[in-house]
Every structure is written in C-alpha cells, then in structure tokens.
Chains A and B, each alone.
Chain A
Amino acid sequence: MALPVDIEALDKAFSGIGVDEKSLISILTNSNEEHKISLRKGSSKLFIEDENGFERWDQSSIKILKHQFNRFRDAVVLSLLHPWERDARLIEKAIRKGPKHYNVIVEVACTRSSDQLLGARKAYHSLFHHSIEEHLTHIKGRERKLLVALVSAYRYEGTGVNEDVAKSEAQILYEAINNGDKNKLLDHEDAIMILATRSKQHLQALYRHYSQSYGKTLAQDLEGEGILKDTVECLCTPQTYFTRVLEAAVKEDADEESKRALTRVIVTQKEQLVQEGFVPNKIQDILLGLYKDFLLASIASGDIK
C-alpha cells in the first residue's frame, strides 16, 4: 500500500511550474508494483478509473506533463541562443501562433535596445529568408500596421528631449484616445508615428506630460487596448509590463501561454530583474525542480556581467 504521503507527493511533484524530479525519483524507485497500484488509484490528477475498473492515464494530463517537463529544456535553449537568434525565433513563433501572442512581438521590439532589435532583424533574415516586415504581411488584422512600424524602428538613444514637442504629442495621443473612436486607435496614423519613431526618452517625457496634463497615466487611458497598452508600457514603463506578465504567470488559474512567459521574461530580462526587483515572491513557492533552480539562479546571477 502506498502511503497517503506518497500519493500527495506524487501529485505535488506536478502541481507547480516545472517538475520536482527528486521527489519523483524517490517515490517511484521505491515503489513496488503493489504500491504503484494504490498510487495510481489515489492520484486524482493523473489517473482515472475507466469502465473496466482499470486505472488509466488521463489524456489531458499527458499534455500538461509534456509542458512541465519541457520547461527546463526551453529555459536552457533560450538561455544558450545568441540573443539575436533568440529574439528572431520568439518573433517568428508569435507571428505564427496568432493574435494572443502579438504582445511578444511588441515586447521584443520595444524593450530591446536599437542595436539589439537590428540584430534580431538580421538574424531573422538568416533564419527565415524573409524580413520580419514581410512575414507580418500574413497578419490580416488591424494590429499589422503598428507591429510593422514597431519592428522597423531604429530609435535614437541619446539624451535631449524637446519638452514642447513631447507635450504637444501627449495632447495628440490624448485626443486620439478620448475624442476619437477608440476602436480606430490602431488606425490613427499620428499616434502610430509617435509611438514607432520617437526615442524612448522622448516617449517617457511624453508619458510624464500626459499624467501631469490629464490626471491619469497614458497606460491607464489605454486600459483594455491590448497591444497598444503593451506598447506604451514596454516603451515607457517596462518594469510595469514585466511585473504584470510575471504575476499573470504565477496566478492560480494561469494558462500554459502565461506560464511560458516566465521562462521568456526571466531568461531575457535577468539583469533588469535584479535591479528593479520585480520578481513576485510567489515564484519561490510555485516553481519546481531543475526548472526552479535554473530560473532562481538566473535571477541571482543577473548582476554578474
């Protein structure tokens, strides 16, 4: 008979993000066939009793397990790849997978430095024999214009902002959001030009003017506007964006895509994570196994250059 504690441990080994490999080794190698029968019978998550009284593996669990076991692999691969190839592959995958993933394109285009983004574009040529802009052609939705503009940017990175221009462009955005048709924001040429061509310093100044002039932040005013809000956050307040993504990943009912963001954000942003300190505490509890070791070590080493 398997001890209740073993049954609980088995379930627990798969109940976070990642897999508790050590626990599995100790439970399974110490179980004889009789133990395993009661393990299977006792595990509500992994096995179901079919019409013949046979404890069979639950199909949907297999899929989940696959994802869980792959997390460590994905973290390793993402970590090893040259950042340019890594970002090119992230973008290509996001384009292929559809609208729910476009925030990844925004994330890469807006949180990397100008030269890093350029590098990703070059890598994309090598890997996929097309430019990112060409592949974005496949997107039929209204997000295409914004996405093409964002990946094409080569923003100035020096200091020196014209505050008057920043203020007047804050007004243009305000009017676009509040006076115009909010549904048409993605078609608003001036708004897209401002977000896609101005330097980050300029946009951050614009962000400040917006709050001062209108009593709310630009991000707040774009609540519910999907990638437009992501764009503004990534350009002006990236730590807010990353915190949001990480917290969504460790939520109780997080879906697979949200969880995958954990790997992506922690591996690609580890330097920033250490400085800004926006890793949710919950991460310590919810991560499991080698995957947990890898991510926590990534964060800890984040300030080693």
Chain B
Amino acid sequence: MATIDVPEQVSVLADAEALRKACKGWGTDEKAIISVLGHRNAVQRKQIRLAYEDLYQEDLIKRLESELSGDFEKAVYRWILDPADRDAVLANVAIKKLSPDHHVIVEISCTRSPEELLAVRRAYQARYKHSLEEDVAAHTKGDTRKLLVALVSAFRYDGEEINTRVANSEAKILHEAVKDKEFNHEEIIRILSTRSKMQLMATFNRYRDDHGTTITKNLEGDSGDEFLKTLRPTIRCLNDPKKYFEKVLRNSIRRVGTDEDALTRVIVTRAEKDLKDVKELYYKRNSVPLDQAVAKDTTGDYKALLLTLLGKED
C-alpha cells in the first residue's frame, strides 16, 4: 500500500501558483514545496508541471533544480518525475558510475511489472538516445553483463499459470548452482530472466520445501565475485521485493553516514506502491519505526520531505 497522503480535492492551478510563490524572490520556501508536492500522486504532479508551464512558460523542474540543492534537491527531482522517467534516470545514473551500481539495475528490472519495465525502456530511449540494454551492455562485462542485459530486456508473461514440473526441475538446477557455488551461469540467467514471476515464486517455494531453507539464505553473505554480487539482489527482488526493500533501507540507515542515494531511491520509488508494507516489515525486523529511524539519521528539508512521503502528518 502507498504511504503518501493525498487530499480529496486538488487544484493543480493553485498548486502551480503556490510553487511559483515558493520559488520567487530571495529565498525558497522549501516547506511550501514539500507541502504541495509531497501530497500529490504521479498524475497530479504531471498536471502541476503542465499547469506551471502554461502559466509561467517555464519548466518547473528546471526552476526547482536551480532553487534547491543537495540531498533535498535530488529527492525532489526524483519525486517529481514520472515513474518511468524516474527509473530511466536512476538506471542511467547507476550505469554511468565509475563502478556501476548493478543492484539498482537489478532492482528496477526485477521489481517493476513487465509493462512498467517497458515504459522505463521507452523513457530511457527518449532521454538518452540509446536503448537501456545497449548502455548496460556497454558498461558491464562477462556473465554479469549477460545477466543484467537479460533482466532489463525481459518482457515476462504476466499470468498466474504455474507448471509444477518446471518448478521442480528448475529448483533443482538452482540448488545445484547454489550448493556447488559452481554457478552454471547460462541456466541461472535463463531461468531468472525468462520465467514469469508466478512461475519463479513456485520454483523458489519448491526450493524451500525440498531443502528446508530459502534460496536467499543459501546465498547469504557479502563476498563473492561480481556475478554472485549481482545474483543475490536478483533472487531477492524476484523472491520477495518488500523484504528486499526493507533490507536496502536498513542498510542505508545503519551505515556510518547514511546512504542517501539508496534511502531516497527506495522511499521515492515505493511511496506510491508498497512502502506501507515495507514500513511494517521494517518495524518487525528492527523494533523501531522507519519514520523514527529516518528522522534520527537525516536533517532539514531532506528529512521533512522523506517523512512526508512516509506518510507522516504535517
């Protein structure tokens, strides 16, 4: 369930005016920006941008970029974009890093629905004049590249059908791979990048039933080669995305010095999806509400925006 709190009645014209007012003059009224944008869904945010452009012949995003700075600006920028466009930006940032953030690419390709992923691919082309898969291919190598390209190119069947024979045989294949740590990369890539999500769930369940432990437990740890480091989040995202997001949040806050990129990314991308469930998981796991942990670890307008997106009352 979503966490953001959207009012019953919304006037995008009034919103555009309020944002204009917040940006005019000497300082910027960040609180006003948060109180408007932090309480609007994707459709409304898009309409506000259009209204703002209409009224003031200016791109709201560019205006905000020039007025704001730091983590707050990054968060606002990501929040205000269309979800598909946002994912395209996140993917590009992840790819272009000196040491590419494979887990972000995995996250986007494995936790979005098949249609959403297609929308990301279209948005990526519109923005960057390359296909997502060619940029991933150009910035990665080896089996990691094969896995990532396969994941971003996937257009999974969205139906409920499950083939138990296939679940059985593919659970076996995955177990062989995990147990021996001799990863038959071809087969793993094939299974994880082509099967429908329902089919994969059946396979993972079968794995757990046959071996008494989940596949993610068998893959525990932080070490291993690059392929393994990309494989873990892949299986986690496909197996239980909410649990995966809880872990990313937990790690981003726990670190000495918060990982703002990860924190922003998860909160912004899940606030309209399943952040409520992730919050519950977080509380169960850490005995501390997520709001509290975030409040303790962040400051200023950045903190205020995150808490608003988390559903905290003003």
Q: Which residues of A contact B (CB under 8 A)?
A: 118, 121-122, 125, 129-131, 133-134, 136-137, 145, 148-149, 152-158, 160, 189, 193, 196-199
CA A122 to CA B121, docked complex, whole Å: 15
Interface of B is mostly: helix
Select which of A118, A148, A160, A193 is within 8 A of B118 by beta carbon.
A118
- In the complex the two chains form, is A148's CB within 8 Å of B194's CB? yes
Offer 19 A-B interface pairs, CB within 8 angstroms, sorted by A. A121-B155, A122-B155, A125-B159, A131-B156, A131-B194, A133-B155, A133-B193, A134-B157, A134-B196, A149-B149, A152-B155, A154-B121, A154-B132, A155-B131, A156-B125, A156-B129, A158-B125, A160-B129, A197-B131
Q: What is B's interface to A at a CB cutoff of 8 Å?
A: 118, 121-122, 125, 129-134, 137, 145-146, 149-150, 153-159, 161, 186, 190, 193-196
How far apart are B133's CB and chain A's nearest CB, in angstroms?
5
| In the complex, chain B residues whose CB is within 8 Å of the CB of A152 | 133, 150, 153-155
Bound together, the chains give a CA A134 to CA B118 distance in angstroms of: 18
Minimum C-beta distance from A203 to chain B (A): 11
When distances are taken between beta carbons in the complex, the residues of chain B under 8 Å from A125 are 155, 157-159
The CA-CA distance from A126 to B149 in the complex, in Å, is: 25
Rank and list the top 5 A-B pairs by shortest CB-CB distance, nearest first: A152-B153, A197-B134, A133-B194, A193-B137, A156-B131
In the complex, A125 Cα to B130 Cα: how many Å? 26
Q: Which residues of B contact A148 (CB under 8 A)?
A: 150, 190, 194
A198 & B155 in contact (Cβ 8 Å cutoff): no
Q: How far is the CB of B194 from chain A (nearest CB, A)?
A: 4
- In whole angstroms, how far apart are the Cα atoms of A129 and B199 in the complex? 12
What residues of chain A lie closer than 8 Å to B132, measured between beta carbons?
154
Shortest C-beta distance, B94 to chain A (Å), equals 17
CB nearest to A198 among chain B residues: B134
What residue in chain B is nearest A189 (Cβ atoms)?
B146
Are B155's CB and A197's CB within 8 A?
no
- Assuming the contacts A156-B131, A156-B134, A197-B149, asked whether A137 and B157 have C-beta atoms less than 8 A apart, the reply is no
CA distance A153 to B137 in the complex (A): 12
Q: Is the CB of A154 within 8 A of B153?
A: yes
Shortest CB-to-CB span from B141 to chain A, Å, is 9
Q: Which residues of B contact A133 (CB under 8 A)?
A: 154-155, 193-194
Determine the chain A residues whose CB is within 8 A of the CB of B122 once the complex forms. 154
Q: How far is the CA of A123 from the CA of B122 in the complex (A)?
A: 19
- A153 near B153 with CB under 8 A, answer yes
Decide if A156 touches B194 in the complex (CB within 8 Å).
Answer: no
Question: Does A153 lie within 8 Å of B155, measured CB to CB?
Answer: no
Contacts of A131 in B (CB 8 A): 154-157, 194, 196
Chain B residues with CB below 8 A from A154, complex form: 118, 121-122, 125, 131-133, 153
Could you tell me the distance between the alpha carbons of A129 and B290 in the complex, rounded to whole angstroms? 40
Chain B residues within an 8 Å CB radius of A130: 157, 196
Contact residues in A for B186 (Cβ distance below 8 Å): 145
Could you say which of B118, B134, B159 contacts A129, with CB atoms under 8 Å apart?
B159
Q: Which residues of A contact B145 (CB under 8 A)?
A: 189, 193
* A-B contact sample (19 more), CB < 8 A, given A156-B129, A158-B125, A160-B129: A118-B118, A118-B155, A122-B155, A125-B158, A130-B157, A133-B194, A134-B157, A134-B194, A148-B150, A148-B194, A152-B153, A152-B154, A153-B133, A154-B118, A154-B121, A157-B125, A158-B129, A198-B134, A199-B131
Distance between Cα atoms of A152 and B132 in the complex (Å):
12
Cα of A58 to Cα of B78 in the assembled complex, Å: 73
Residues of B within 8 Å of A129, CB to CB, are 157, 159, 161
Q: Give the complex CA separation of A148 and B137 in angstroms.
A: 15
Which residue of the partner chain B has the closest CB to A145?
B186
Q: Closest Cβ of chain B: how far from A158's Cβ, in Å?
A: 6
Min CB–CB distance B86 → chain A (angstroms): 19
A137 with B190, Cβ < 8 A, contacts A131-B156, A152-B154, A193-B145 known: yes
Most A CB contacts (10 A, CB to CB) among B118, B149, B155, B158 go to B155
Q: Are B118 and A197 in contact (CB under 8 A)?
A: no
Q: Tell whether, in the assembled complex, residue B194 and residue A197 are in contact, meaning their CB atoms are under 8 Å apart.
A: no
Q: Which of A122, A197, A199 has the most CB of B within 10 A?
A: A197
Query: Residue on B with the closest CB to A169?
Result: B138
Q: Within the complex, what minimum Cβ distance (angstroms) separates A217 from chain B?
A: 23
Considering the complex, give the chain B residue whose CB is closest to the CB of A154: B121
